[in-house]
Amino acid sequence: MSTFSTAPTDPTIAICVPLEAELVAQIQRSAPGATVLYDAGLLPPERYPADHHGDPDFRRSPEQEARYWANILAADVLYGIPNESPADLARAIRENPRLRWVHAMAAGAGGAVRAAGLSSAELSRVQVTTSAGVHALPLAEFALLGLLSGFKRVAEMQADQQAKHWPTLRVPTRLLAGSRLVISGLGEIGLETARLAKALGMTVSGSKREVAPIDGIESVVDNSGLPGLLAGADAVVNTLPGTPQTEHLFDAEMFAAFAPGTIFVNVGRGSVVDESALLAALADGTVSYACLDVFEQEPLPAASPLWTHPRVLVSPHSAALSAAENKLIAERFIANLARFRADEAMPHTVDPVHFY
Q: Count CB atoms within 10 A of the CB of residue 307.
A: 11
Is there a shared CATH topology between the 2-134+322-341 domain and the 136-314 domain?
Answer: yes
Percent of the chain exceeding pLDDT 70 equals 97
Q: Please tell me the least confidently modeled range out of 1-10, 292-301, 310-319, 335-344.
A: 1-10
Cβ(226)–Cβ(250) below 8 Å: no
Domain ranges of the chain: 2-134+322-341, 136-314
Question: What superfamily in CATH does domain 136-314 come from?
Answer: NAD(P)-binding Rossmann-like Domain (3.40.50.720)
Alpha helix (H) ranges present in 202-319? 226-230, 252-256, 275-283
Show which residues are catalytic.
269, 298, 317
- The tens digit of pLDDT for each residue in 125-151 reads 999 999 988 999 999 999 999 999 999
The model carries a pTM of 0.82
What is the DSSP code (8-state) at residue 349? B
Q: Is the pLDDT score of 273 beyond 50?
A: yes
Class of 2-134+322-341 in CATH: alpha beta
Identify the pLDDT of residue 107.
79
User: What band does 284 get if pLDDT is binned at 50, 70 and 90?
Assistant: very high
